[in-house]
Amino acid sequence: MNDRAARSTDPEATPAVRLATGIRLYIRRAHEEPHWGGFIVRYGASNETLQQLWSGPPMHDVLSGLTCEQYSFGQEQLPSVMALIGGGVLGAMMLVLQGQKTWRDAGSDMAEFVLRALGVPADQARSAATQDLPALAI
């Protein structure tokens, strides 16, 4: 899924836009494929193999944003940042699967909140979190 999200996202976009797009693609897929989403929600935080979902392109976007000073947190906080993102995405997927939020609202909200937590100004975070979402690459 990480590879599919990375191929779907504009490589020239800012790290914040890439991260927001990836978050939203995960949440949309949970809506489109509820069995997949349910599996990820249930095992995504506990199975060692599935924990690798939170590395790769998401980690690259976080590190890129830190390097270009789009994000403001200490390098030593990176594991906590990734836990925040992973937990937030799983929680948003659960809201969608339970019918409490639409995938659009849950995805945009979670992407905006994550970016704001990383230090992106509110208006920029909202813009990144509400851009048109590309199709998920196969």
Domains present along the chain, CATH in parentheses: 2-8+16-129 (1.10.357.10)
- Give me the half-sphere count of Cα atoms (radius 13 Å) on the Cβ side of residue 18: 23
Cα-based angle 37, 102, 53 (whole degrees, multiple of 5): 30
Model confidence pLDDT, tens digit, residues 86-96: 999 999 999 99
Q: Which residue has the tokens 């939020």?
A: 101
pTM score: 0.93
Asked whether residue 47 carries a pLDDT value surpassing 80, the answer given is no
The H or E element that residue 53 is part of is: none
Q: Are 102 and 96 in contact (CB under 8 A)?
A: yes
Assigned token pair, 51:
């924990």
Task: Report the pLDDT averaged over residues 106-128.
Answer: 98
